[in-house]
Amino acid sequence: MNSRRRALSLITASVLAWGAFFPAAANVAYARMETSALALSWQTPIGEGTMLQKYTKSYGDQQVSIMVTKVDLNNPYVEVKPVYGTNQKLTERQTVTQMARETGAIAAVNADFFNMSKRGAPFGIVMRDRELVSSMGLISYWYSLGLTSDKTALIEHFGFSGQVTAPNGTSFPLQGVNKEEYNPSEGRKSHLNQLNLYTPRFGKTSLGAIPGYQNVVEVVFVNNVATEVRVNQPGAVIPENGYVLWGHGPAATFLLQNFPVGAAAQISYQTTPTNKDWTQAVGGSVLLVDQGRALTSFATDSYIKQINARTAVGVTQDGKTLFLVTVDGSKPVYLDEMADIMAELGSWRAINLDGGGSTTHAARMLGETEAKLINQPSGGAERRVPTGIAVYNTAPPGVLAGFNIVGPAEVLIGQTVKYDVKAWDNHYLPYSLKASDVTWQAGQSDSGSFEQESFTATRSGTATIIAEAAGIRQQRDIHVISGQEVAQLLVSPSPINLAQGQVLTLDIKVKTKKGQLIAATPRSVQLYTDSPVVTTNDQLQLIAGEQAGTANLTVTYDGVSTTVPIIVGQVEIPWLTFDNQTSMSHVGYPASLSNYGSFTAVSAGGGEPVFRTRKSAKLTYNLSGAPETDVRIAYGRVGAKPETIPGKPIGIGLWVYGDNSKHWLRSEIVDAKGKLVYVDLAKEIDWTGWKQVKGYFPAGLTYPLQLKSIYIVAPAESSNDPHDQGVLYFDEVSLLLPSNAATEPKGREVTPGAPGTLSLGQELDLGYSLQQTASFLQKARLDVKSIVPQPLPGYVPADYAFTLQGAVLKPGQPDQLSTKPVTVTLKPKKWIKGKGVGLLYINEANHTLDPLLGEVDANGNWVYQLNAYGTYVPYYLDPPAGVPFVDIINHPAREEITALAKKGLVKGLDTNLFGPEVPLTRAQFVTLLARAFQWKLPDKPKLNFKDAIPAYAQGAVQVALSKGLVKGYPDKTFRPNQSVTRAEAALILDRILNKKAQPSKPLADQKSLPKWAAPAIANMVGLGLIDPEAGRFNPNQPMTRAVCVVALYRILEKQ
């Protein structure tokens, strides 16, 4: 082989079904030592003249399994033909099993090689019923299987020749029919300067422009008349009553010069050799056996000879027996070993077919109605291939000849198993037996009993089951498993979590010591619980009572037991609202209903019902377009993709605004393995208005789960006379969690002398102080409750609310809560950034939702005063339009902060929070002064302090020092992060303004004011720039950001 050819081979090897094909030096060489001869393991007829056989043969310590379909072509009812593509489209590859089913074959194997990186046309010939589907490629060493009109099978080297003639008599050689680019034997590019024909059998479109070929011309013909001329375009649609001629180089010139639109073409071609009346043919590759002798050298690349899964076809000397043979990749063989196997089977000639991941063998067993895969493909699943060789049974229907009993070979004591028969006639065709045609009985009276075709085993050991039909009797031994053979009883779920009132069907399997898993049935195992909180029934179900608690479940099979803990109780938390759901859609079943409905999010502001938050989901359905005799469904898809459910809940809750339609309400849940399950939410929608429904997940699901849709079902011919048209609303999906999977927040008794904190779940903590109630209140109670039952249209609540209740007053004291409130502090934990923490009071007397006014403390917590007993709901608070920071919504300085923020004079701690009660640092204070009074700042500040000054404040600090407004400390530090006191702030502002004034009222702490600041404080209070706090100035308290902004605002307004 020359170096160029070798390079091509290596380049293409990775993309072919097995590799590229170039004849290499004929070398031998991989056979292992044979340690056992070819031996027949079993065989069974599967059709007229067709026997399925299994052989074994050993090489070294490896026993190889060989599957053979042996065909007697002398039988008048047997036919062998190629199969290809899908619906007679060659390049629309599919699996061999699907090809066999599509064409009704009783057996099939894969055939020719192909290039997996392309559309996948085979390299060799395909002829079916004399129609040339694909011509033989120009590969000199390629052999193919052909059958003549008298059903003689031959392995030959096929060829092809043809020509296209123009109206003026000019002709051009036709290289091939329905061929993709491949590597001919002589090493050139297959389509270079060539003319090729593409018929409807090739696929939906022709070859079109392909890489490496310039100026490709295609002419589309209908009834041999040109209808379109295309240059360098993608493949054209091939007319069913026409074809496409493809040309490159001289062939392209020939097409352009001779076939304008309207020109007629004449095409002629033939398959060689022509001395036989060929009716069927399919490509293979190299010879394995010639004249009955296994070959030891092969004209192909070395990697083809390596150990691999194999497919081959062989014929006897008389051409009347055909062998379709496969060897799996689990116990593969070398090419020369496959040649030995084919020779030992009796082949006079045999060829290698595509192998590796393409090796596939399908067969229709006796009594079956379609072919099934009988080998194990190397890739774990069948590869889609272009061609196969198929066997057909053309006999007419006959009379019942036999049947097999089908059903489990091993069963449990007490298990009821349904058995069936698969029958065939005297031509080995499937034969339909009615259940009433078959009688059943147990071979031993103590082994079990039949009720019609269902057998219930009553003891362990061997049991014989007998079936009889039309005088034909068949029996089968089955094994009934004893407790001594059981390794383990597996119960799912384990441990078991139940909600009060929930009914759960258990998944129980018996694992034998041999590793088998057999699903238990109600009569094969016994269930016991040790607590009344849970009971069992005869359907392998647990029924939880209304009381929370724990129990143990014991499952027993023939003396073997296992125990599983049970917890009854649930925690319910909100999960999914429809406020931000996108790509919601309606789908109908049958599909004709899809256009007659909708699933959209609607808002409370539009007059639509909303249970909680801002939007609900509206399902509009119309089922009248399908007959009532059909099941009719209206799906509400929650999004373009299913919505992932967090954690491991045992079910979901849903608020539903019913229409009394009597429809069945369900949801679609997808588990992590893609398993789709249907969860009942309500057997009938028999209510109007809002109602919560709950559905529980079945056992055996793999988490995480996804919610795909919420939907209604109108069963076929429902007796409930359901409405054909209607509207439903859905709101807030909640998660039902096992009580041991989430710690539900708890309440407690509280007293005035003991402030504390309660958890409100993951979102908030609740701080409380009853100090103001100490004069009249002895104790009260704060309880935490789920928000799930509370309607709150227009509000997005936290997961938990709280109640203030159960007050015990001090002897002789009236309740004074309305004037001496309880202080609560809501501390955000996992809270949405940019949202405030609002608080609603559920006013049951007025049936209103009353928002409270709160403030934000220096730590960013929201502080509220409670002056009534009852339920309070934290919610996500949005700032009103025009308010720049969420924490100043209810602050007294909101107007001043907003005004200066809009002018760019003040900034927040971040984009959402201002921190009005946060103490102002020395660096922040001088920076605010610089902005407010428009100081000119140096480009390159020079400071001589030991400590670092923040870059944003350096210029302002330098100017403030130069103006004598601030000073450093004796230790040569500035302390930029130290809080400014109210006295210090007053002194600095006084130096800037230099105005005198006196307070209208003396300050309560006048005598304790520091002497160095007293005059400045008097000026600031007298000018109305800094307000006293309850009559006191509190000079040593930190200056807050809000107080500073108010002072600056008032100064600027007066200026």
882: left (phi over 0), alpha (psi -120 to 50) or beta: left
Whole-number Å distance between alpha carbons of 942 and 935? 16
**Tokens 């007829």 found at:** 45
Q: In CATH, which of 2.30.40, 1.10.287, 1.10.260, 2.60.120 is domain 159-272?
A: 2.60.120
Question: Is the pTM above the cut of 0.85?
Answer: no
- Packing angle, helices 982-993 and 1014-1022, rounded to 10: 70
Angle CA(491)–CA(492)–CA(494) in degrees, nearest 5? 85
The single-letter DSSP state of residue 593 is G
Order of strands across the sheet that contains 517-519: 486-492, 507-512, 517-519
Whole-number Å distance between alpha carbons of 48 and 392? 9
Asked if residue 66 lies in contact with residue 56, where contact means CB atoms within 8 angstroms, the answer is: yes
**Tokens 């958890």 found at:** 759
Query: What number does CATH give the domain 484-568?
Result: 2.60.40.1080
Domains 484-568 and 748-878 equal at CATH topology level: no
User: Of 25, 673, 652, 628, which is closest to residue 305 (Cα–Cα)?
Assistant: 25
Structure tokens at 517: 């898993």
**Tokens 């034909």 found at:** 472
Architecture of domain 748-878: Sandwich (2.60)
The single-letter DSSP state of residue 794 is T
In this structure, which amino acid lies at residue 443? G
What's phi and psi for 251, nearest 5 deg? -65, -35
Whole-number Å distance between alpha carbons of 836 and 834? 7
Asked if residue 655 lies in contact with residue 690, where contact means CB atoms within 8 angstroms, the answer is: yes
**What integer pLDDT is reported at residue 100 of this predicted model?**
97
**Pairing, β 310-315 against β 50-59:** unpaired
Whole-number Å distance between alpha carbons of 307 and 331? 9
Asked if residue 359 lies in contact with residue 311, where contact means CB atoms within 8 angstroms, the answer is: yes
In this structure, which amino acid lies at residue 486? V
User: Of 281, 343, 280, 291, which is closest to residue 312 (Cα–Cα)?
Assistant: 343
Whole-number Å distance between alpha carbons of 706 and 669? 6
**Pairing, β 472-481 against β 410-412:** parallel
Whole-number Å distance between alpha carbons of 576 and 708? 13
**What integer pLDDT is reported at residue 451 of this predicted model?**
94
Q: In CATH, which of 3.90.180.10, 1.10.8.10, 2.30.110.10, 2.60.40.1080 is domain 400-481?
A: 2.60.40.1080
Whole-number Å distance between alpha carbons of 1001 and 998? 8
Class of domain 571-738: mainly beta
Whole-number Å distance between alpha carbons of 233 and 218? 8
929: left (phi over 0), alpha (psi -120 to 50) or beta: alpha
- Domain regions of the chain by residue span: 8-158+276-393, 159-272, 400-481, 484-568, 571-738, 748-878, 888-1054
Whole-number Å distance between alpha carbons of 914 and 912? 7
Question: In 530-614, which ranges are E strands?
Answer: 534-536, 541-544, 549-557, 560-568, 570-576, 585-589, 597-603, 612-613
User: Of 928, 934, 939, which is closest to residue 988 (Cα–Cα)?
Assistant: 928
In this structure, which amino acid lies at residue 583? S
Average pLDDT per 10 consecutive residues for the chain, totaling 1055 residues: 31 38 44 89 98 96 96 98 95 96 98 92 97 95 96 97 97 97 86 97 96 96 98 96 98 98 97 96 96 91 86 98 96 95 98 96 97 92 96 97 96 95 97 94 93 95 96 96 96 88 92 93 95 94 92 96 91 91 95 93 90 95 88 95 94 96 96 95 94 90 96 77 86 88 79 93 94 92 91 92 90 93 96 93 94 92 95 94 92 94 91 93 94 94 94 95 92 95 95 92 93 94 94 95 95 86
| Positive or negative: CA dihedral 384, 387, 393, 396 | positive
To the nearest 10°, report the CA torsion of 817, 818, 824, 826: 150
Element of type H or E holding 489: strand 486-492
